[in-house]
Amino acid sequence: MGPRRLPRVLLPAVAFLGLLFLSGLRLQNLSAVSPLQPPHLSPTRGSRLPLPRHGTPPPHRAPRCPGQGFQISSLLAAFRACVTPEGEILLGEYLAGWKELIKLIDTLGAAFGLLARETQTKMEILEGHRSGPHAPHYRTLQAMVAFELRRGRVGLRVLPPDQPPSGSRTLLRLHRALKWLELFLGKLGRSGAEDDPSQLCAEAYQAALARYHSWWVQQAAGLAFLALPSRRELYGLVCAEGEREVQAVLLEAVGTIAGVYNVTQQLYAARGLLELP
């Protein structure tokens, strides 16, 4: 395939990916997943960093990038404030962390614009619940899940058409995508000059999200990752002094995100919600 034809193939594929990547539609029955596909991801183990604690100061000042939308320091601050001392997930802080992740997704190039907008739609659904008539039940993840299960709002099989989108189902889509970003940033932080970010991102996708997508969407994802910036450009987003510090900051972000992911994963597993369609 010549270089002039590649954009014509790549951009439509990415458009499909962006529309379907985080959509609420289940594109294939999980019972039909091949045994070769990865099982449910368990909580991250062996992290060098402690779980995030609400209100605790950061271990060191993360670098800031003047004039840049995405700030790794803001990402760290939001997810560190996400988990309370009692181990609850504060939804406001969780969504603040995702706002920073959307800025990161936007920096990956125009091919990921639809993905960022679809993520924003999920966040708006959750914000609507947080400001709606049942707002007190949407302060924490734990309270939201308990409330929606008690009121039959989750839709364990199919969401009733006369109900607004379930907060629990909506956050599950963000939760799955959070694992993809955690794995990708971890691979990027441990990568060497010879490693291709496109391949690292594809590996993270296969581990975290591929099982929820049909074969043709997986192929579209593989094409989308070809549009990723270079490793050097991605490292430049952190604005740290030297490659070693960049890697340290990235792995610190991974540990913080993993702490939030683990708490969420354990709650959904205990409630039997990981298989929500």
pLDDT score, position 26: 34
Per-residue pLDDT of 199-253, as tens digits, reads 999 999 999 988 987 888 788 778 888 989 999 999 999 988 899 999 999 999 9
The mean pLDDT of 169-192, rounded to a whole number, is 96
- Residues 90, 140: Cα–Cα separation, whole Å: 4
| Residue 163 token pair | 């109900």
pLDDT at 120 over 50: yes
Domain boundaries, the chain: 51-270
- Mean pLDDT for the chain? 80
Distance of CA 34 to CAs 93, 108, 177, 207, 213, Å? 37, 31, 21, 14, 12
CATH topology (fold) of 51-270: Glycolipid transfer protein, GLTP (1.10.3520)
- pLDDT range class, residue 37, cuts 50, 70, 90: very low
pLDDT of residue 171: 97
| Greater pLDDT, 7 or 113 | 113
Please report, to the nearest 10 degrees, the dihedral formed by the alpha carbons of residues 31, 34, 37, 38 taken in order: 40
